[in-house]
Amino acid sequence: MPHTSSRMAGNSFIEALSAALPAGRIKIGNNIPAGAEHDWSHESHAAPLAWVAPQSTEEVAATLRVCHAYRIGVVPQGGLTGLTGGANTQQGIVALSLSAMHAIEEIDARTAVAQVQAGVVLQRLQEALLPYDLVFGVDLGPRGSCQIGGLIATNAGGSGVIQYGTTRAQILGLEVVLADGSILPMMRALPKNNSGYDLNQIFIGSEGTLGIITRAILRLHPCAPARHTALLALKDYNASLAVLQHLRAKFPQGIAAFELMWEDYVSAVQQATGLPLPFATQAPLAALLEICGQNKDALLTEFENALSEALDQNWIEDAVIAASQAQTTQLWKLRESVPELFALRQPINFDLSLPISQGGAFVARCRELLLQRWPLCNPLFFGHLGDGNLHIIADAKGLPAAIEADALCEAVYQLLPEFGGAISAEHGIGSLRTSQLRYCRTTAEIAAMRALKHAFDPNNILNPGKVLPAQ
C-alpha cells in the first residue's frame, strides 16, 4: 500500500523534524501561510509537506540534516518575488522560509561593509543605510518584499547594474548551509582573497540548488549627494546607444541608471496607470536615466549641457529633467509599473540578455515575428538596456490556445543564438526555463553544472527540478 506507507514515512519525518527544532517553527496543512506555494510566476506548484521558518543558521542546519536523512526535498524561500517559479513548492517537499532570519547584524561605515541575515528585506537595508550615507548596489521594483538571500540566490540585477554591477559584485562573504546540514562559514570581509577557489561565487545565482544562504557580508558604496533623473524621447535604438556613449564620456562612473522603454510599453503603462508623459513628443523609444555626482547645481548644469549637445546631434527629440522628488518618483513609476501591467494580462515574461549592440535589431525582428504569428499577443518591450537586458511581456489572453504560449516562448528563444543572446539576464531559470537552457548553454556546460550539483547535493534534495533540465 504505497499511499499508506508514504503517509507513514511523512508522519515520521514530521516527528523527526519537530524533535530537531524548537516549538512553533513548523507549520503543516491549513496552517501553512497563504501564498507560500508560489512566487509571482504562478508556475506549477502544490502544497508542501511542511513549511519551516528557522530562526538561526543552526536551525536551518538541523532542518537540512533531517531532510537529508529522509531524502525529503527542500525549497528555500525568500520574499517570493521571483518570476520563474524558483521558490515554488511541490507535494512531499519542505518549504524553508528565511523570513524569520532578518537581523541586520552590523553596519561598518568606516569600511563600507554590512553583515546581515539572509531574510533581511531589501528596503529595510536601504533605510538602515540612510544615516550612514551608504547604499547597497542593488535596487529593484519589489524592494519592499525581496530578501537579501533571494537577491544573492538569483544574482539579481535591477537598475543599479550599470553603476555597481550585479549582486555578485556586492558580496564579500557568505554563510551557507549545505544539503547534508553542514555549515560553510565564509563570512570574511576580505576584498581580495585568492586563497583557493572562491566558493562564495558558486552559491551566488545558484537559485537554492546548491546550498541555503543564511548570512552575508555585503560591500556598500558611498551615497552620491547629488542625483538627477531625466526622461528622453529617442528616435531609434542607435540614437540611444549614441546618447549612452556620450553620457559615459561626460560622466564616467556617474550614470546610475539607463532604462529603455519602447513606445508599446510606455502607452500600455499610461493606459494601465493614467500616468502622464512629461512631454508631448510621441517617440519610438523613451530612456529613463539617472546621473549622480557631488554638487547638485553643478551637476544639473553639466547634465543640461550634455543633453542639449545630444539634442543638437539629433540623438534625442525631447527631454525632461525632473525638477522635484515628486517628478522623479513619477518618472520612475513609468518604468516600475510592471505589476499593474501583470494585473491586466496573463503575462508571458521574457528576461533576455543581448549584446548591447544587438538590442534594436533583436526587438525589430522579435516584434515582427510575434505579431505575424500571434497578432493579439500584444508584446511590450523594455529593460535595463544599459546592461543588455531586454524584458518582453506578451499576453497569453490574446493567444488562440494555452498551448500556444509554449510555442511563443520557443519562437523567441530560437532567435537568440543568432544574436548571441541568453535566455535569462537576471531572473534566473527556476522551473520555468529549464528546458530552454539549451538555447544558450552547450551540452558540455550543462554537464559541468550537473557535476557541480552532484558534488554539493548528491541526493538532489535542494530545490529539485529547478535550473537544470530533466534528464
Indicate the residue among 150 and 254 with the shorter CB distance to ligand FAD. 150
Identify which of residues 115 and 315 has a Cβ nearer to ligand FAD in the complex.
Answer: 115
Residue 11 beta carbon to ligand FAD: minimum distance, rounded to whole angstroms: 26
What is the number of the residue whose Cβ is closest to ligand FAD?
Answer: 150
Smallest distance from the beta carbon of 154 to ligand FAD, in angstroms? 4
Q: Whose Cβ is closer to ligand FAD: residue 205's or residue 293's?
A: 205
Minimum CB distance to ligand FAD smaller for 308 or for 329? 329
Question: Rounded to the nearest whole angstrom, what is the least distance from the CB of residue 175 to ligand FAD in the complex?
Answer: 10
3-state SS string over the chain?
Answer: CHHHHHHHHHHHHHHHHHHHCCCCCEECHHHCCCCCCCCCCCCCCCCCCEEECCCCHHHHHHHHHHHHHHCCCEEEECCCCCCCCCCCCCCCCEEEECCCCCCEEEEECCCCEEEEECCCEHHHHHHHHHHHCEEECCCCCCCCCCEHHHHHHHCCCCCCHHHHCCHHHHEEEEEEECCCCCEEEECCCCCCCCCCCCHHHHHCCCCCCCCEEEEEEEEEEECCCEEEEEEEEECCHHHHHHHHHHHHHHCCCCEEEEEEEEHHHHHHHHHHHCCCCCCCCCCCEEEEEEEEECCHHHHHHHHHHHHHHHHHCCCEEEEEECCCHHHHHHHHHHHCCHHHHHHHCCEEEEEEECCHHHHHHHHHHHHHHHHHHCCCCCCEEEEEHHHCEEEEEEEHHHCCCCCHHHHHHHHHHHHHHHHCCECECCCCCCCCCHHHHHHCCCHHHHHHHHHHHHHHCCCCCECCCCCCCCC
Could you tell me the smallest distance in angstroms from the CB atom of residue 152 to ligand FAD?
A: 7
Residue 219 or 466: the one with the smaller Cβ distance to ligand FAD is 466
Q: Which is nearer to ligand FAD, 259 or 264 (CB)?
A: 259
CB of residue 12 vs ligand FAD: minimum separation in angstroms?
Answer: 26
Closer residue to ligand FAD, CB minimum distance, 21 or 467:
467
Binding residues (CB under 6 A) for ligand FAD: these are 39-40, 75-83, 86-87, 98, 118, 140-142, 146-147, 149-151, 153-154, 156-158, 207-208, 212-213, 338-339, 426-427, 430, 463, 466
For the bound state, the minimum distance from the C-beta of residue 63 to ligand FAD, rounded and expressed in Å, comes to: 13
Measured from the CB of residue 215, what is the shortest distance to ligand FAD in angstroms?
9
Q: CB of 102: closest distance to ligand FAD in angstroms?
A: 11
Nearer to ligand FAD, 162 or 299 (CB): 162
